Amino acid sequence: MKLIGMFDSPFVRRVAISMLRLDLPFEHANWSVGADFDRIRAYSPLGRVPALVLEDGAVLVESGAILDYLDDRVGPARALVPASGAARRLVLQVIAQAIGAAEKGRDIIYEGVWRPPEKRHEPWVERVRGQMHGALGELEKAAGKVSDQTWLAGSRLTQADITVACVFTFLADSVDVAKDSRSYPALERLVARCEALQEFVATRRPWFRPSAGG
Ligand SMILES: N[C@@H](CCC(=O)N[C@@H](CS)C(=O)NCC(=O)O)C(=O)O
């Protein structure tokens, strides 16, 4: 399989980490949505990453749909999202908050990258920043229930932990979460534990700001 997109994207990175944890080998196409837009669109006309090219040439887009396919491929015993019940609901809700926060962070970045300065609208950026912190506050509550021996959904690391860690690291690197005098100590502790794991270390990259000019 070929995974298209750079690892500084939390959407791409959560797929890469999941594939490493699930022992699913892949080739990495380290392509930028700025400079490599045409190359990406040759595989996915939407022009968004991640895109996962399967062995038969089919191309999957949208990280949630890709991860669902990977879970289905390895079966329920190894899947990173629990198959049913309260654990499934918790994991999916935590992921939804984290992805919401990541999308708000991405929107803040794109306001600066794709719009010329005279067209940027600061009140909108502030609103989006507030939404991002709203979601991070919910994640802080969830992380507050985790001990040093457990993960967000109990004794086993799940997609909730992977996604939360990818998103928090991305936001800390790219939109300086700390500058708004909000603190997330429980999240920071959980994310530090995740970032110490080998799959996270193998996919950690410095933040690469996309450029509209390519
Ligand atoms: N909901 C999507 C979001 C993916 C996304 O926003 N990717 C960004 C990179 S971080 C992208 O491709 N941006 C280029 C664009 O949409 O034009 C997912 O989870 O896969």
* pTM of the predicted structure, to 2 decimals: 0.96
Atom of ligand 1 nearest to the CA of 103: 6
The tens digit of pLDDT for each residue in 50-89 reads 999 999 999 999 999 999 999 999 999 999 999 999 999 9
- Contact residues of ligand 1, CB 6 A cut-off: 9, 11, 33, 47-50, 62-64, 106
Q: What are phi and psi of 42, to 5 degrees?
A: -65, -30
Task: Please state the rounded mean pLDDT for residues 36-42.
Answer: 97
Tens-digit pLDDT profile for residues 143-171: 999 999 999 999 999 999 999 999 999 99
Distance (angstroms) between ligand 1 centre and the Cα of 62 equals 8
Ligand 1 atom at minimal distance to the Cα of residue 61 = 20
Q: How far is the CA of 142 from the centre of ligand 1 (A)?
A: 25
Q: Quick count: other Cβ atoms within 10 Å of Cβ 176?
A: 9
* Closest listed residue to residue 167, CA positions, set 107, 97, 92: 97
Tell me what the mean pLDDT of segment 26-32 comes to.
97
- Cα(33) to centroid of ligand 1, in Å? 9
CA of 187 to the centre of ligand 1 (A): 23
Helices (H) and strands (E) in the chain, counts: 8, 4
